[in-house]
Amino acid sequence: MKEMQQQSARSRLIFVLIDGLRDDVAKSRLGFVEGLVDEGIAWRSQVQSVLPSLSRPCYASIFTGMTPMKHGITTNDNTQRLTHDNVFDLVAESGGTSAVAGYHWMSELFSRGPFDYLRDREQENNASGITYGRFYFEDAYPDSHVFVDAEKLRQSFDPDLLVIHPMGCDDAGHKNGASSKEYAAGAAKIDYLLSRFLPMWLMLGYQIVITADHGMDDFGVHGGTYDEVTKTPLYFVSQRDGMTLPGTIQQTEIAAWLCRLLGIKPVDSMTFSQNLQ
């Protein structure tokens, strides 16, 4: 019990980045998570994504707090590491560690790139950027495996920041469209996986943030300006009291908020609304 209390005193954060899950589908399909909101264990808001609402530009904006024109990642084609300040570098500079179980584009942006399948699939003890990584490179890699990869990283390395980045919703959406049973099933699968792992994380004292990079339309496309592709969910699960979230936040506000939740100082390029506590 004493050890658990000491662990809980740290500002540890799990960030679940669900690729391609739009806001209205999250609200209708994430029954477990929405139940936490009803019980007052979680708080709900929505995120307005940057433009273009594409994966790699959104990833970069989420973790730098900058727009695509400022951080330079304006397409999905860039395979080089970001040179701008980001949450992973700030965690490392503060003496903390981070871990990511996610798509290989995350490695390219925040660790090293272009991605080499043999060299970069498993990463440990990086001095900057992502400290520990388990990266997949097939869009159909099962979400269940991503969560197990992440939990193994958590148990093995006890990082201050753990990022879980499943691709199932995005893959189903591109193949079948957002009104398909496959897309709905992808969202329901995420909810099931969260129901398996989140209660344990909460008991261990973690704060949990759940969001998505972009949405999806019925044609299996995103990148534009309309709500189906730019509005994503935001959930915050914590044992903190007095928590409030504004109705909508900008995707560029997430980086500074993550820093605050981790107890580290964001750089000047990372800003957030005073209503985001």
Least Cα distance to 212 among 160, 169, 158 occurs for 169
Least Cα distance to 262 among 91, 7, 86, 125 occurs for 91
Which class would CATH give 2-262? alpha beta
- Is the model's pLDDT at 150 over the cut of 50? yes
CB 128 within 8 A of CB 92: yes
Measure CA of the first residue to CA of the last residue in the chain; give whole Å: 29
pLDDT digits (tens, 9 = 90+) for 35-56: 999 999 999 999 999 999 999 9
Least Cα distance to 110 among 138, 149, 72, 83 occurs for 83
pTM of the full predicted structure?
A: 0.96
Q: For the chain, give every domain's residue range.
A: 2-262
Quick one: pLDDT at residue 245? 87
Mean pLDDT in residue range 210-234:
98
* Cα 129–chain centre separation: 15
Quick one: pLDDT at residue 276? 74
Quick one: pLDDT at residue 1? 31
Quick one: pLDDT at residue 9? 55
CA distance 49 to 273: 15
- Is the model's pLDDT at 207 over the cut of 90? yes
CA distance 191 to 194: 5
Mean pLDDT in residue range 240-265:
91
- Who has greater pLDDT, 1 or 18? 18
Strand runs (DSSP E) across 161-263, as ranges?
161-164, 207-212, 231-237, 248-250
Mean pLDDT in residue range 215-244:
93
CB 201 within 8 A of CB 150: no
- Is the model's pLDDT at 274 over the cut of 90? no
- Is the model's pLDDT at 229 over the cut of 50? yes
CB 64 within 8 A of CB 85: yes
CA distance 47 to 67: 14
Quick one: pLDDT at residue 243? 73
pLDDT digits (tens, 9 = 90+) for 155-193: 999 999 999 999 999 999 999 999 999 999 999 999 999
- Is the model's pLDDT at 88 over the cut of 60? yes
Mean pLDDT in residue range 17-36:
98
- Who has greater pLDDT, 130 or 241? 130
User: What secondary structure does DSSP assign to 56-99, as a single string?
Assistant: HHHHHHHHH---HHHHS--SS---SPP-S--HHHHHHHTT--EE
pLDDT, averaged across the chain: 94
How buried is residue 240: exposed, middle or buried, by Cβ count under 10 Å (0-12/13-18/19+)?
Answer: exposed
Cis peptide upstream of residue 52 (ω within 30 degrees of 0): yes
pLDDT digits (tens, 9 = 90+) for 89-145: 999 999 999 999 999 999 999 999 999 999 999 999 999 999 999 999 999 999 999
What are the structure tokens assigned to 222, written together?
């995103």
3-state secondary structure of 161: strand
